[in-house]
Chains A and B, each alone.
Chain A
């Protein structure tokens, strides 16, 4: 991938360097209540890939994506992102790693009572001095990055609006801008469109695809809908009961493949329409 080759001067929302690869080595996650969410999962994703993880709710998708930035600690195995072991990182090093990994969520996870700009500036956390956070005095450079990220997802005009005054689709765009303001080398998306209506869902998926293609950032997306997975990912990973049951190209995945992933016949609700 050479998407990074021709970054123009001032194109600050582009990542500063190469996209990150992901490697999971025999990863097991067992929660304190005894549930095994991931069972010896091994996975290799190259930098710049656009991958979707497909499975029913409870299959371990959310857990898998959260092990990659250390939000969920692994019980056994190793997680390597961009050459660094996330599962061994702590404190400052873990925060620095997370700073390079953007993440968006099903329920957007914005701070509703503060401005869209302030939410985008969250993406600059890992590179902001504590006293600047305390006084709410971002550097001019951080502000420029936040504005540019908002512009990239077409929501710049709402920069001074309170986040909870926006529609669901607009909020998810702000969340994408927050992740872009990190200048990430890797983007994680946990069911990014499950709370959105179909046209808005497609628009948000298009945004993610553009991020992958134009900025060359590795994108890993949890999805549970067949047609979205086929259309927006080059590679698809199927999860069932914490194990990988499918790993291959997304566009050529057959209905039978999906039935294998879901562990049941295809239903009407399995496609966006």
Chain B
């Protein structure tokens, strides 16, 4: 077998290696700067500290492996509260996210300034870490599940709206044009045509933030915002690593189970 002769009309292959090389060079330089003791983190000292105190770390780990199951009954009420917070936060944010998503997508809201304002506010909300919201809200409304749920809602709305609005804008424009041609208002078009089409992506992202909420609400208690975090904070303060390990294990099992359930549900819905 002989190779087919190359036709002379084949355009020359574009030269891409200079760009690839440049990208790698930039990455390398940034890493080098960040790891240099004068500018960034002193990695050398860090490794030194690990080497010096490794015995301490090993002791803590060994302590953790001796699980103290007596804590288990005490974990159930706060664990239940954590899951309740996750469900409540997801439900409230899902309801709020529907109109905000339709407002934020170009296809469902042609008014650019109005869209921009909401998108900007949501970007700011997303940029602030959830623990910070919880800390501030605890100061405002007091210790308990409520500040936890409120901070979950803030973050969830921002996440759902961003991801689903992007999916809406990447979707089909045809039915929207047809609705406009039939003399529909934007509101009618959004309700009757855009909403059914955005449903799969909306359901999928809502399930995703639910998974996120279970994880986040487990630590929100560290700043007093209810749930399992309060208990985690307590046992950690008293150096009960054997009990902490039980809580972590329990949380792991719950999260894995919930994620299995939600990914099963997602396959059904989409």
Which A residues have a C-beta under 8 Å from some C-beta of B? 69, 71, 94-103, 105, 107-114, 118-119, 121-123, 125-126, 128, 130, 133-134, 136, 175, 178-179, 182, 188
Interface residues as binary, B203-235 with A (CB distance below 8 Å gives 1, 0 otherwise):
000000000000000000000000000000000
- Cβ of A97: which chain B residues have Cβ within 8 Å of it? 183
Give the complex CA separation of A133 and B174 in angstroms.
19
Interface of B is mostly: helix
Are B192 and A105 in contact, with the CB atoms below 8 A?
no
Are B183 and A130 in contact, with the CB atoms below 8 A?
no
Chain B contacts with A in 184-204, Cβ cutoff 8 A: 184-185, 187-189, 191-193, 196-197, 199-200
The 8 closest A-B pairs by CB, nearest first: A126-B183, A99-B183, A125-B184, A109-B174, A98-B183, A109-B178, A111-B175, A103-B181
Are A125 and B177 in contact, with the CB atoms below 8 A?
no
Contacts A/B (CB < 8 Å), 9 sampled: A95-B184, A99-B183, A111-B193, A112-B175, A113-B200, A114-B192, A122-B178, A134-B187, A179-B182
| Central interface residue in A113, A119, A128, A182, by most chain B CB within 10 Å | A113
Q: Which of A103, A111, A125, A130 contacts B197 (CB 8 A)?
A: A111
- Cβ of B144: which chain A residues have Cβ within 8 Å of it? none
The answer to the question of B180 belonging to the interface, with a C-beta cut-off of 8 Å to chain A, is yes
Are B182 and A109 in contact, with the CB atoms below 8 A?
no
Q: Assuming the A-B contacts A105-B174, A175-B178, A178-B178, are A111 and B192 also in contact, with contact meaning beta carbons closer than 8 angstroms in the complex?
A: yes
Taking the closest CB of chain B, its distance from the CB of A70, in whole angstroms, is 9
Q: A125-B182, A178-B178 are in contact. List 12 more A-B contacts (CB 8 A).
A: A98-B182, A103-B182, A109-B174, A114-B196, A118-B192, A125-B183, A125-B184, A126-B183, A133-B188, A134-B187, A136-B192, A178-B182
Are B182 and A122 in contact, with the CB atoms below 8 A?
yes
- Cβ of B175: which chain A residues have Cβ within 8 Å of it? 109-112, 119, 122
Are A133 and B191 in contact, with the CB atoms below 8 A?
yes
| Central interface residue in B178, B197, B200, by most chain A CB within 10 Å | B178
Which B residues have a C-beta under 8 Å from some C-beta of A? 172, 174-175, 177-185, 187-189, 191-193, 196-197, 199-200
B193: nearest residue on chain A (CB-CB)?
A111
Are B191 and A134 in contact, with the CB atoms below 8 A?
yes
Q: Which of A69, A111, A112, A119 contacts B181 (CB 8 A)?
A: A69
Are B192 and A101 in contact, with the CB atoms below 8 A?
no
Give the complex CA separation of A113 and B194 in angstroms.
10
A103: nearest residue on chain B (CB-CB)?
B181
- Cβ of A136: which chain B residues have Cβ within 8 Å of it? 191-192
Are B177 and A122 in contact, with the CB atoms below 8 A?
no
Taking the closest CB of chain B, its distance from the CB of A139, in whole angstroms, is 14
- Cβ of A122: which chain B residues have Cβ within 8 Å of it? 175, 178-179, 182, 184, 192-193
Taking the closest CB of chain A, its distance from the CB of B176, in whole angstroms, is 8
Are A112 and B184 in contact, with the CB atoms below 8 A?
no
Give the complex CA separation of A182 and B178 in angstroms.
12
Are B184 and A111 in contact, with the CB atoms below 8 A?
no
- Cβ of B196: which chain A residues have Cβ within 8 Å of it? 111, 113-114, 118
- Cβ of A107: which chain B residues have Cβ within 8 Å of it? 174
| Central interface residue in B177, B187, B200, by most chain A CB within 10 Å | B177
- Cβ of A112: which chain B residues have Cβ within 8 Å of it? 172, 175, 197
A101: nearest residue on chain B (CB-CB)?
B181
Give the complex CA separation of A109 and B200 in angstroms.
19
B197: nearest residue on chain A (CB-CB)?
A113
Give the complex CA separation of A111 and B192 in angstroms.
9
Taking the closest CB of chain B, its distance from the CB of A138, in whole angstroms, is 10
Give the complex CA separation of A239 and B178 in angstroms.
24
Give the complex CA separation of A105 and B175 in angstroms.
10
- Cβ of B183: which chain A residues have Cβ within 8 Å of it? 94-101, 125-126, 182
Give the complex CA separation of A75 and B3 in angstroms.
57
Are A133 and B192 in contact, with the CB atoms below 8 A?
yes
Are A125 and B174 in contact, with the CB atoms below 8 A?
no
Give the complex CA separation of A69 and B177 in angstroms.
12
Taking the closest CB of chain B, its distance from the CB of A94, in whole angstroms, is 8
Taking the closest CB of chain B, its distance from the CB of A7, in whole angstroms, is 22
- Cβ of B172: which chain A residues have Cβ within 8 Å of it? 112
